[in-house]
Amino acid sequence: MNGLNGYANGELNGGDIITQNQQKGCWTIGLINSKFRYLTAETFGFKINANGASLKKKQIWTLEPDCSNGGDSYIYLRSHLDKYLAVDSFGNVTCESEEKEPGSQFQISVSDDGTGRWALRNVVRGYFLGSSSDKLTCTAKVPTDAEFWNVHLAARPQVNLRSVGRKRFAHLSENLDEIHVDANIPWGEDTLFTLEFRADESGKYALHTCNNKYLSSGGKLVDACNKDCLFSAEYHSGQLALRDKSGAYLSPIGSKAVLKTRSNTVTKDELFSLEDSLPQASFVASLNSRYISVKQGVDVTANQDEISDHETFQLEFDWNTKRWYIRTMQDRYWTLETGGGIQANGDKRSSNALFDLIWQGDGSVAFRANNGRYVITKRSGHLYATADNMDENCKYFFYLINRPILVLKSEQGFVGYKSGNNPKLECNKATYETIQVERADKGVIYFKGQNGKYWHCDSEGITADSDTPEGFYLELREPTRLSIKSVNGSYLSASKNGTFRLGESSFESATQWEY
């Protein structure tokens, strides 16, 4: 997926990440005025205002590039009702047309005051879009505070970061103290980054790494977010540039391609695309407690004691069959061979490379191959799809490798703390808390808050205030959704009032969490 494509369906909980009509260079965003209110398209009467308190369905706008114009900052803004924001011949701001018109074209300029706020100049009228009490205006020849907007990206916050200039992906350095932009493909947990929106820091962004650190403008990772870790987001022909407080842009520098700020101008080196981070997993065979591996070549064998790239597999969902392809780092797919053997030699997708994932409720999963039989582990460790029924030999404990830090979302909103220092968690927040994930044995994981405390579940809900971990299992349902089950057998479900607790006994009635 190119560019910053997010919840294109208008719902913040969006379903699939990108719709068919989502073109390259489109962003889904919220626009926040100087009073910290969001630009809002009301559901009835095509009314627009800047009264939104948080980023929800009515505050989502799709920013579309004007491909016919030579400039890199000419755009259109489309509401969740598929209507375009425009300025008419009398200067009135409207949002009623499904067609792009001359009056709906805007040009982005970025403030010079270090805040990174945007001003949106209507191209036909020559005036800037602003907000005054309940109404929108377009009367200012020069932008004032009322015409500047902070940009809240509505894309999924956990992404892979790809350099446009280097055509390489960012990853955590071996010393765990820098980000290097030299990976050919985004593989493993060290290529996952969380782009954190800081509403309390003038709408800037922090880049949070999988080892729970923050990137500073000088290129080093630090333990806590400070002003050197905050960047403004800029739009350039559908790509992202991140600018520090001194006006310099992040880019890969030197032979190691260290990510830090240097240049005060934007070239391809300063541009990035945010790519969807597909689920990558490791599996431990119940029979011999070894990780499934392709280290030895094409044979898929449960014979390794530790996780490396050879024991990490990307899970790619086929929407037509609701089954999964299982991809190796060498760009090969698990494939059912004649005789039932499983080998990683598929260089293109075929029906024999599709598998059903059948969750067992104890942190394990069974694979059903295209012949209708279940995959088992032989004594040699080799995998064969020869079982007619599931037994202990068909169990493989599941670990979601590239989510050492998790962001969870329900239909009500993100999972975050109730308020301030209150450790109670709710699932209706406009902004999210990052959750640390610790792996234990046999598919068990523990959740830990940024306060260093583990999740604790009781009848009142969930709090991050325990010194003792409580076990959970993750079960993939779709590319972007999963179920969360406690080791006691209950699924985690969200309530409309924002509370969430354990209770459901079946995944069908439980919440499927976007992650």
Nearest to 387 by CA among 379, 369, 375: 375
Of 372, 400, 428, the one marking the end of a domain is 400
Task: Classify residue 345: in a domain, yes or no.
Answer: yes
Per DSSP bridges, beta strands 364-368 and 158-163 are unpaired
Whether 14 is in a domain gets the answer: no
Q: Is 310 helix (H, G, I), strand (E, B) or coil?
A: helix
Q: How is 315-341 classified by DSSP, letter by letter?
A: EEEETTTTEEEEE-TTS-EEEEPTTSB
- Whether residue 292 is found in the same domain as residue 394: yes
Q: 496 in the Ramachandran plot: left (φ > 0), alpha (ψ -120 to 50) or beta?
A: alpha
Give the gyration radius of the chain's Cα atoms. 24
Q: Which of these three, 381, 400, 419, is where a domain ends? A: 400
Counting the structural domains of the chain, the total is 4
The domain boundary residue, chosen from 225, 250, 276: 276
pLDDT tens, residue by residue, 391-431: 999 999 999 999 999 999 888 888 988 876 778 999 988 77
Does 6 reside within a domain? no
Same domain, residue pair 190 and 79: no
Could you give phi then psi for residue 190, rounded to 5 degrees? -75, 0
Q: Answer yes or no: do 366 and 344 share one domain.
A: yes
40 and 149 part of one domain: yes
Pair (324, 447) in one structural domain: no
- To 10 degrees, the CA torsion angle through 199, 204, 210, 215? -140
Q: What is the DSSP letter of 341?
A: B
* Residues 285 and 251 reside in one and the same domain: no
Q: What is the CATH number of the domain that holds 181?
A: 2.80.10.50
Let me know whether 384 and 443 are in one domain. no
- Examine the domain organization and report whether 250 and 287 are in the same domain: no
Coil/strand/helix, residue 318:
strand
Q: Is residue 117 part of a domain?
A: yes
Does residue 12 form part of some domain? no
Dmax of the chain from CA atoms?
A: 79
pLDDT value at residue 5: 37
Q: 141 and 60 in one domain?
A: yes
DSSP state of 299: B
Contact criterion met (CB below 8 Å) for 340 and 386: yes
pLDDT of residue 6: 34
Which is it for the CA torsion 486, 488, 491, 497, positive or negative? negative
Sign of CA pseudo-dihedral 430, 477, 191, 21: negative
The per-residue pLDDT for 156 is 75
The identity of residue 172, as a single letter, is L
Residue 452 has phi, psi (to 5 degrees) of: 85, 0
Compute the distance between CA of residue 187 and CA of residue 312 in angstroms, rounded to an integer.
8
φ/ψ (deg, to 5) at 402: -95, 35
Residues 237 and 331 in one domain: no
* Residue-number span of the structural domain to which 391 is assigned: 280-400
- Domain check: are 95 and 46 in the same one? yes
Kindly write down the DSSP assignment for every residue of 81-141, as one continuous string: TS-EEEE-TTS-EEEEESS--GGG-EEEEE-SSSS--EEEEETTT-PEEEEETTEEEEEES
506 DSSP assignment: S
- DSSP letters, 211-232, are TS-EE-TTS-EESS--GGG-BE
Residues in the chain where the model's pLDDT stays below 50: 1-22
Q: Residue 129 domain-assigned?
A: yes
- Inside any domain, residue 338: yes
Tokens of 125: 């009228």
Question: Could you tell me if 253 and 371 lie in one domain?
Answer: no
Which candidate, 42, 34, 8, places its Cα nearest to that of 128?
34
For 98-113, write each residue's pLDDT tens digit: 999 999 999 998 888 8
- Asked whether residue 66 is assigned to any structural domain, the reply reads yes
φ, ψ dihedrals at 344, nearest 5°:
-100, 70
**Contacts of residue 75, Cβ cutoff 8 Å, sequence gap at least 6:** 63, 64, 65, 66, 105, 106, 107, 108, 235
